């Protein structure tokens, strides 16, 4: 804590990753909260620090996602969550893009207001069971048929852990379409700079006033740091000991879990 004290003076806001920080996701059961995290969120809110939940979750609408977290006891509401699907909708509107969607059924309602006739781009999310051979081929055909193929990906995660084992994340399927169509996807979600910037704008703070807390060395820590924020990695969720020797990314601090991070930060304010 002594080492860290110097740099986190002046902190006005915290950005929290959700899966692997607040809770461990799990198959159909929905997972379980990480010990101490419910109380840690309560302490942040009581402290007066601004708070935003910054997730790459695209298997549910924010409403459903927040309901699940409330069920675990978390003090969280929909308007505190920055997520890729709404960010993608902003991009689609700004650029008059009409998407073909390869996403999870449960996130479809986020795109309800978006024109999807005669698609001129493909949006891919963590579609899980919707990643069938037929659906992949359909998205591929739309993309390869476009004069200017635009592929928007809701994150670029490689895989994640559920109670019934590791599962391929959206990034793997994004790479398949990139290769087949010789295009490069545009990432919406972490680690995209624009995604963190929109979370900071929603908080009304500068990057140097905010700390990102996450379990993903590349998408949480690296992404936030490239934005000018400081970032702490928790040793929960997808954290692996080998992360501490990552060749490119070095967190500003490691903590065992969110509870420890919050206690350290609050005692220095």
Could you say which of 53, 65, 74, 131 contacts a copy of itself (CB under 8 A)?
131
Q: How many degrees, rounded to 5, is the angle at CA 60 between CA 179 and CA 31? A: 105
In the list 144, 146, 218, 266, the residue contacting a copy of itself (rule: CB under 8 A) is 144
Residue 183 touching a copy of itself (CB under 8 A): no
Task: Report the nearest approach of a copy of itself to the CB of residue 180 (Å).
Answer: 4
Asked if 173 is part of the footprint of a copy of itself (rule: CB under 8 A), the reply reads: yes
Q: Which of 42, 78, 146, 178 binds a copy of itself (CB under 8 A)?
A: 178
Q: In what order do the strands lie in the sheet with 81-82?
A: 81-82, 50-54, 13-16, 210-214, 230-234, 253-255
Report residue 76: phi and psi, to 5°.
-150, 145
Q: Strand (E) positions, the chain?
A: 13-16, 23-24, 32-33, 50-54, 81-82, 99-102, 121-124, 151-154, 159-162, 165-168, 186-188, 210-214, 230-234, 253-255
Of 78 and 172, the one with the shorter C-beta distance to a copy of itself is: 172
Question: For residues 50 and 104, which CB has a smaller minimum distance to a copy of itself in the complex?
Answer: 104
- Of 156, 258, 244, give the one whose Cα is nearest residue 211: 258
Q: Does 168 interact with a copy of itself (rule: CB under 8 A)?
A: yes
Binding segment for a copy of itself (CB under 8 A), chosen from 42-50, 79-87, 161-169, 236-244, is 161-169
Q: How many CA atoms lie within 13 A of 102 on its CB side?
A: 27
How many residues in the chain? 269
Of the two residues 4 and 128, which places its CB atom closer to a copy of itself in the complex? 128
Task: Decide if residue 146 touches a copy of itself (CB under 8 A).
Answer: no
The reply on whether position 128 binds a copy of itself by CB under 8 A is: yes
Which of 9, 182, 241, 267 binds a copy of itself (CB under 8 A)? It is 182
Number of residues near a copy of itself (by CB under 8 A) = 29
DSSP 150-173: -EEEE----EEEETTEEEE-HHHH
Report the nearest approach of a copy of itself to the CB of residue 172 (Å): 4
Cβ-based neighbour number of residue 226 at 10 Å: 15
Contacting range for a copy of itself; rule: CB under 8 A; set: 47-55, 136-144, 227-235, 254-262: 136-144
User: What letter would DSSP give residue 185?
Assistant: P
Identify the H or E element spanning 235. none
Binding site for a copy of itself (CB under 8 A): 128-133, 136-137, 140-141, 144, 158-159, 165-169, 171-173, 175-182
């Amino acid at each position: 804590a002594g080492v860290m004290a110097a740099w986190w003076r002046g902190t006005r806001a915290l950005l929290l990753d959700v899966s692997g920080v607040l809770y461990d996701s799990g198959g159909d059961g929905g997972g379980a909260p990480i010990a101490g995290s419910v109380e840690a969120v309560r302490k942040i809110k009581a402290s007066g620090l601004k708070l935003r939940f910054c997730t790459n979750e695209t298997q549910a609408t924010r409403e459903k996602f927040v309901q699940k977290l409330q069920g675990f006891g978390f003090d969280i509401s929909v308007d505190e969550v920055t997520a890729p699907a709404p960010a993608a909708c902003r991009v689609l509107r700004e650029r008059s893009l009409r998407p073909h969607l390869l996403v999870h059924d449960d996130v479809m309602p986020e795109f309800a207001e978006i024109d999807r006739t005669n698609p001129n781009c493909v949006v891919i999310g963590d579609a899980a069971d919707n990643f069938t051979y037929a659906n992949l081929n359909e998205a591929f055909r739309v993309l390869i048929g476009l004069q200017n193929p635009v592929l928007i990906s809701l994150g670029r995660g490689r895989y994640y852990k559920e109670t019934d084992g590791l599962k391929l994340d959206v990034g793997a399927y994004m790479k398949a379409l990139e290769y087949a169509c010789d295009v490069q996807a545009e990432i919406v979600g972490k680690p995209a700079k624009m995604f963190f910037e929109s979370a900071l704008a929603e908080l009304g703070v500068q990057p140097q006033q905010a700390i990102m807390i996450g379990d993903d060395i590349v998408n949480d820590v690296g992404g936030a740091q490239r934005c000018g924020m400081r970032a702490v990695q928790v040793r929960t969720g997808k954290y692996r000991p080998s992360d501490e020797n990552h060749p490119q990314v070095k967190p500003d601090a490691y903590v065992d879990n969110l509870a420890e991070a919050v206690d350290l930060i609050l005692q220095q304010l």
